[in-house]
Structure 1
Amino acid sequence: MSQSDCVFCGIVAGAIPSTRVFEDERTYAFMDLAPASEGHLLVVPKAHTKNLLEIPAEDLAAVAATGQRLARHVVETLDADGVNLINSCGEAAWQTVFHFHLHVIPRYAGRDDLTLPWVPTPGDPEAIKATGERLALV
């Protein structure tokens, strides 16, 4: 997908309407049109980047800082009981728009029916250890 075909680039450029919540030099935050809960919004870097694996560190830091700022804001303003910050990287991880983005999803105890996408169950300790050793960076 080229930048000219990217819906989020169109939103950042103002060519596609959005409900802007916040904007700074590097980031743009707007309301999600298919919200998981009241106040669900998205934070994107203004510069087009496909996903988490490709975003420059400076833009990732800016998106994370804006996400944190807005997470605090939705908890305070909407009286949310918590918040999820979610990024999906790749089709297998449920990414549907291929411009890096962070979902800020307010959570309301007993007032929303969102659930984890998997049921956490204990894993095999030896397999976990072996995988951890393979992944160790030192």
Structure 2
Amino acid sequence: MKDNNCIFCKLANGDIPTNSIFEDNDFKVILDADPATKGHALILPKNHFANLLEADDDVLEKALPLAKKVANKMKAELGCAGVNIVQNNGEAAGQTVHHLHIHIIPRYEDDPDKTICGWSHQSFTEEETAEVVKKLSL
């Protein structure tokens, strides 16, 4: 299921040229057009899902091993010291393109900004924490 109005569907399915580094029946991995670092890549499912919460489990089961494969290749070939694997869901979480995608961002010792996935820390009372545990326990 492809969304003809989705730019990432067009990229994943070859309707728009990309700098592709991997492709199979389910995914296309491309270099990000506006990279955070050298080698920043995107894993794009060929089928359209707005985000992880809407994706089929079989797609998700394949996505993380692919992210690991890409990250290991980056470490071996680009000499990065670490890798951010980032996946945003919803605008409040920073998602700007509403097609499931995973960022694989190589991180180098001399990166000027290591806070690309940073957040500010907050404190909660024991009672607040207990209430969250109660609500989220599976």
Runs of 4+ in 1 over 6 A off after TM superposition: none
The C-alpha deviation readout for 1:8-61, integer Å capped at 9, x for no partner, is 111122111110010112111000011011110000111111111100001011
TM-score, normalised with respect to structure 1: 0.90
Name the counterpart of 1:18: 18
1:133/1:111 CA distance change after superposition, 3 Å: same
Q: Secondary structure at the match of 2:53?
A: coil
Instruction: Name stretches of at least 5 consecutive residues in structure 1 with no aligned partner.
Output: none
Name the counterpart of 2:112: 112
AA partner of residue 46 (structure 1): K
AA partner of residue 76 (structure 1): A
The C-alpha deviation readout for 1:38-87, integer Å capped at 9, x for no partner, is 11000011111111110000101112111111011111111101001001
Alignment partners' CA distance in 1, 2:126 and 2:9: 44
Q: RMSD value over aligned CA atoms?
A: 1.6
Alignment partners' CA distance in 1, 2:129 and 2:76: 38
Q: Percent identity?
A: 35
Paired residues, number: 136
AA partner of residue 50 (structure 1): A
Name the counterpart of 2:38: 38
Instruction: Name stretches of at least 5 consecutive residues in structure 2 with no aligned partner.
Output: none
Q: Secondary structure at the match of 2:39?
A: coil
